[in-house]
Amino acid sequence: MRLGILISGRGSNFEAIANSISRGKLDAEIAIVISNRPGAKGLEIATARGIPAKCIPSRGLDREEYDKLLIEELKANEVELVCLAGFMRLLSANFIKAFPNRVLNIHPSLLPAFPGLDGQKQALDYGVKIAGCTVHFVDEFLDSGPIVLQSAVPVLDDDDVDSLSARILAQEHATYSQAIQLIAEERVVIEGRKVRILPERAA
């Protein structure tokens, strides 16, 4: 399965996916990493690892114009699954239509709690005792879309944003690769808002 990964910064989830692939835990290959921001650290990391990487700057373009460029580049690279990894833009309906049920995101909260920016800080400010992360299919709305997997972590009384973020991030890295692998194995079925995970096939 050919992955296209969209980033805006470091994209630590991109690195985690690349690691899962190189360790043989994920049957996929990264066809291309695209950043909408020049100088994104993730582009360097990709290049250093020999993974095709490209910046398509979004500045000055409206959403439809930009998404058209993205779609072209992803299609040219025969991408089958688009994975957002800290990509700081909403995608247009046309983009979603170009990759129906083929765009994934990971969010650092147990959605629908704490959508949007700084999910970890939102969780701390609210005072929850359990936080986590969510891998979900992407639709045109913010952190919406059917949920593939979630993973919970405890919030400790002395947590700050950094310590909680680190605990969640470890789960993000594991959970994102696991979700992509389930899709690669064709075990993920979307039924309305619900995602059913089919059992492993007998060998």
> What does the DSSP 8-state code read for residue 161?
H
Give the span between the Cα atoms of 83 and 13, in whole angstroms.
9
Residue 59 CB, shortest distance to its own copies, in Å, is 35
Closest CB to its own copies among residues 23, 129: 129
Helix%, strand%, coil% for the chain, nearest 5: 35, 25, 40
**Which residues contact its own copies by CB under 8 A?**
110-114, 124-130, 132, 146-152, 157, 192-197
Residue 173 annotated to the active site: no
Rounded Cα distance between 30 and 158, Å, is 38
Report, in Å, the least distance between residue 35 CB and its own copies: 30
Would you call 177 exposed, middle or buried from its count of C-beta atoms within 10 A (0-12, 13-18, 19+)? buried
Q: How far is the CB of 11 from its own copies (least distance, A)?
A: 24
Which one, 84 or 188, has the nearer CB to its own copies? Answer: 188
Q: Which is nearer to its own copies, 9 or 146 (CB)?
A: 146
Could you check whether the bond before residue 112 is cis, i.e. omega within 30 degrees of 0? yes
Residue 189 CB, shortest distance to its own copies, in Å, is 9
Nearer to its own copies by Cβ, of 84 and 149: the residue is 149
- The span from the CA of 189 to the CA of 186, in Å, is 8
> Of the listed 37, 102, 107, 173, which one is catalytic?
107
| Catalytic residue ranges | 107
